Chain A
């Protein structure tokens, strides 16, 4: 089955700790995205990647970092600089970079702060 997997499903972060959220897709998609979802708000873009070895900041990139060394993988690191990391994080991909493209979403990772 083709799709997007995210792990873990739940993640707990201690003060001052960096944590990494995994996102893998086997759809052979070029573009990948990370969104943050807070209750009562829509999705906000953290980072995106148009193609392997490229990534760009989205609207709320501060306190986050990403890499795109492989086409199928786009991990997100939540650093200690992100002061309010509690949220639901969604990874998505699209076949190509373009406004008309459908974005396919993973099941999400819920990050909680201890």
Chain B
């Protein structure tokens, strides 16, 4: 079965600084990759997803992620963060041949003024 590892449980960063949230996955078959964001006491919202094509995926709120097949990674980046980006971010992987979504444990991003 596939699995997802989010390498950092917490990432503190100052406002307007760049940020990278790391995600590695393991799977013996082809996968689709997702990043979701969760604001406090709310549901998850899709930031972006990789299905095929260009390995650089752009999402909402200025986020982007790069699919690296050789390193089995899908890191999320933003060049300049805002206070409003403070939230929990989840990486998820889904096997193409069935629908078996697996979520990472999450990375709590805290943006400080």
- Chain A residues engaging chain B, CB cutoff 8 angstroms: 4, 6, 31, 40-45, 48, 90, 92, 97-108, 110
Q: Is there a chain A Cβ closer than 8 Å to B28's Cβ? A: no
Count of A-B residue pairs with CB < 8 Å: 62
Determine which of A40, A99, A100, A105 lies in contact with B105 in the assembled complex, contact meaning CB atoms within 8 Å.
A40
Closest to B6 in A: A42
The 8 closest A-B pairs by CB, nearest first: A105-B43, A42-B103, A99-B94, A105-B44, A43-B103, A99-B99, A42-B105, A107-B43
- Chain B residues engaging chain A, CB cutoff 8 angstroms: 4, 9, 32, 34, 36, 41-46, 49, 51, 90, 92, 94-106
**Least Cβ–Cβ distance between B89 and chain A, in angstroms:** 11
**Least Cβ–Cβ distance between A20 and chain B, in angstroms:** 19
Given A42-B90, A90-B44, A98-B99, output 4 extra A-B contacts at Cβ < 8 Å.
A40-B105, A90-B43, A97-B99, A103-B101
Closest to A42 in B: B103
**Least Cβ–Cβ distance between B99 and chain A, in angstroms:** 5
15 CB < 8 A contacts A-B: A4-B43, A31-B99, A40-B106, A41-B106, A42-B92, A44-B103, A48-B99, A99-B94, A99-B95, A102-B46, A103-B44, A106-B43, A107-B43, A108-B43, A110-B41
Residue of B42, B98, B101, B102 with most partner-chain A CB within 10 A: B101
Query: Is the CB–CB distance between A108 and B46 below 8 Å?
Result: no
Please judge, given known A-B contacts A42-B90, A42-B106, A45-B101, whether A99 and B43 are in contact too, CB under 8 Å.
no
Closest to A110 in B: B41
Residues of chain A with a CB closer than 8 A to B96's CB? 99-100
Residues of chain B with a CB closer than 8 A to A104's CB? 46
